Structure 1
Amino acid sequence: MVFRPDRWPGCAGREWGRLLPKDADKSKVDLVRSRPDAIEHVDHDKRLWRRFYPPTGREGLVPVAFVFADTTAAKVANAVKVLEGTGRRYWAPRRYDSLYEKAVTALDYRQAVPVVTTTLEKLQEHGADAAVWRRLGRDGEQTLTAALDNPDGHALYRAQEARAEARDKQRRAAEREARRPVCSRCGRKFSDERWEEITVHRTAVRAGEKSVCGPCRADDVAREETGAEAARLQAAAPPEPQDGPAAGSRRLPGPSSARSRG
């Protein structure tokens, strides 16, 4: 086979895998026409190629196989090298766009064309189920199933993303705990409720002394309420009666004094 560097043989498979069916939803058609990479945001189930191929359970576009015949091992190796070089943008996976770039090593095969190669002689000698297939971008030969699988693909991405997210959550929780205020009176850490109470504007104005925890603040409120109640009761109580006559008052004559004058 002769391969032109300016026309990779597998590009037709990739472009066909990016087409929409004629009866595609208008919103999908408008989206794809809006920009060149918009098709990548359309599920494979909505594309034309899935009308002809059943689900494989793998990410990626339609697989392409090259079977070399009546040639030498050196020519096969050279042809595979050309395929890998000129077709990298078609078969090569991408890095995932992840918030945890350093933790995620998985590769995104969703827009890649799985390309495998072998020779007719190997198929005749060992059969198509044998480890006679080499996938572009990998070393060594595998069975066809193993060659088409993506062990470093989406399943690994989900696992790595979940682990990275869990570690990040633990880190953020530890950093938050390190910032948690400590009561200046009893030394206890603030509860989440008390911490929020002293920081949220609508509650901070009524939070009292912001350096004390919730229980200590409750003690302060109880003392304030007890003092206020005592003051209210004292203000509402009637005045106490005096023991003797008021100063400067005249004493009226009683019956005994009247008899003495008589």
Structure 2
Amino acid sequence: MWKLTRPDNRHDKLVRDNLLDLEDHDLVRIESVREDQRQVWVLTRRGHGEAKDLLEPKGIRVSVLRKQEYAPDIGELLGTGYDDHAAAVTSTAAELHRAGIEHRLGFQTEIGHRLADGYVQRADLVVRAPEAGVPVMLLEIDRRTEDAHDLVAKLRRYWEWGRLLPKDAGKHTVDLVRSRPDAIEHVDHEQRLWRRVYPPTGREGLVPVAFVFADTTEEKVANTVAVLEEAGRRYWAPRRYESYYREAITAKDYGQAVPVVVTTLEQLQEHGADAAVWRRLGRTGEQTLTVALDNPDGDVLFRDQEARADAEEKQRRVAEREAQRPVCKRCGRKFTDQRWEETTAHRTAWSAGDVSVCGTCYADDVAREEAAEAARLQAAAPPQSEDDPEPGRGRGWIRRRA
């Protein structure tokens, strides 16, 4: 609590005095003393009850009561084996809070994620800091007490949990997912279980996971990260986009991946959680947290590249069409689209005349033909006598007189 509430205070006298006062009221107790002589305090049953009454109505979850149990044979206090781990978790939360990543009461620990087979994968720490650009992130704090492949198994479980459907999912969606193993990838994230639990991440993919290593050597961290990167590639690595313009697309599809970042508690304490101390699996070098979580080569780049490739493809097709456009054998001008269609379409080609000439030349041909036909008709008509009355006039007079 001292590290979380007073991260910049090097002296814990104020916190210690308050803990002693709470101890006098049977609200807290000392569970153990660490190697550096710092004391680990926990809530008593009475203190745990009061904390729940105070915090849970405000939406703040209280951890499980640490019962005071002793080994029957040696009388040693049980349940203290995770003290160093719990301290590392609290220290990580304190460093995140000091960097402005989450409010001190916004952290949650030991949050369970139930898989389809009933196994519950518990996150050491859950951070929700939308103001800092991290709407949600799951953290695993490892003091190198676990094998690297155990961490890969945890990553796999988070990936599997992100692919589950809620119990009230629609029948059509359930049938689709049951039809084949990868069908869930065609179900939008908004219809999956994880979106009922956590807010949208603001980025592609599933809920990001951070591995924070503490109390270990750089060599061990490097070896563990190498195993995570290689053995866990299926779960964190992006894929190629399925696109017609495959060669023009270098963007990567992060839609089904778990973004994974790694750092050490020592780096967080030395440089701060807002510094460039986070490394994203699949990348080299360290970045700030939000930059590490962002996907500059993701969907935004894909849309841009696809739009550019689409425009270039249209230009190429136009150029190819222009190269094929017929040229009038008489005047040398290119056919218009209308004349080109007239000479090639089955419904109009039979009446298009000379299909080797353009529309203008064809119109001249039609005009000449019409003029020649008019001259022929005029030449074939009998000559009219000058003495003949106008047609119809004489007959009209006779009828009126009769």
Which residue does 1:196 correspond to in 2? 341
Q: Write the mapping of 1:84-233 to structure 2, written as runs, cut at 5 A.
A: 84-232=229-377
Equivalent pair of 2:201/2:207 in contact (CA under 8 Å):
no
Question: Match for 2:229: what amino acid?
Answer: E
Instruction: State the 1:229 CA deviation.
Output: 3.8
Question: Match for 2:345: what amino acid?
Answer: V
Instruction: State the 1:240 CA deviation.
Output: 4.0
Q: Report the CA distance shift for 1:229/1:36 in structure 2 as closer, same or farther (over 3 A).
A: farther
Structure 2 SS opposite 1:4: helix
Normalising by structure 1, we get a TM-score of: 0.86
What CA RMSD, in Å, does the superposition of the two structures yield over aligned residues? 2.0
Instruction: State the 1:126 CA deviation.
Output: 2.4
User: Of 43, 67, 74, which residue of structure 1 is paired with 2:188?
Assistant: 43
Q: Distance in 1 between matches of 2:274 and 2:263?
A: 12
Q: Point out 4+ residue stretches in structure 1 off by more than 6 angstroms.
A: none
Equivalent pair of 1:8/1:83 in contact (CA under 8 Å):
no
Q: Report the CA distance shift for 1:181/1:68 in structure 2 as closer, same or farther (over 3 A).
A: same
Quote the sequence identity (%): 72
Q: Report the CA distance shift for 1:187/1:122 in structure 2 as closer, same or farther (over 3 A).
A: same
The structure, 1 or 2, with the larger RCO (C-alpha pairs under 8 Å, 6+ apart) is 1
Structure 1 SS opposite 2:154: coil
Structure 1 SS opposite 2:262: strand
Is there any run of 5+ residues in structure 1 with no aligned partner, and where?
Answer: 244-262
Is there any run of 5+ residues in structure 2 with no aligned partner, and where?
Answer: 1-145, 388-402
Q: Report the CA distance shift for 1:5/1:210 in structure 2 as closer, same or farther (over 3 A).
A: farther
Equivalent pair of 1:133/1:144 in contact (CA under 8 Å):
yes
Normalising by structure 2, we get a TM-score of: 0.57
Instruction: State the 1:153 CA deviation.
Output: 0.8
Q: Write the mapping of 1:16-27 to structure 2, written as runs, cut at 5 A.
A: 16-27=161-172
Instruction: State the 1:227 CA deviation.
Output: 3.1
User: Of 66, 72, 75, which residue of structure 1 is paired with 2:217?
Assistant: 72
1:24-53 deviation line (CA, Å, top 9, x unaligned): 122111111111111111111111111122
Instruction: State the 1:212 CA deviation.
Output: 0.4
Going by fraction, where is strand more abundant, 1 or 2?
Answer: 2
Equivalent pair of 2:152/2:228 in contact (CA under 8 Å):
no
Q: Which moved more, 1:82-91 or 1:116-125?
A: 116-125
Q: Which moved more, 1:141-150 or 1:118-127?
A: 118-127
Q: Which moved more, 1:49-58 or 1:150-159?
A: 49-58
Q: Report the CA distance shift for 1:13/1:30 in structure 2 as closer, same or farther (over 3 A).
A: same
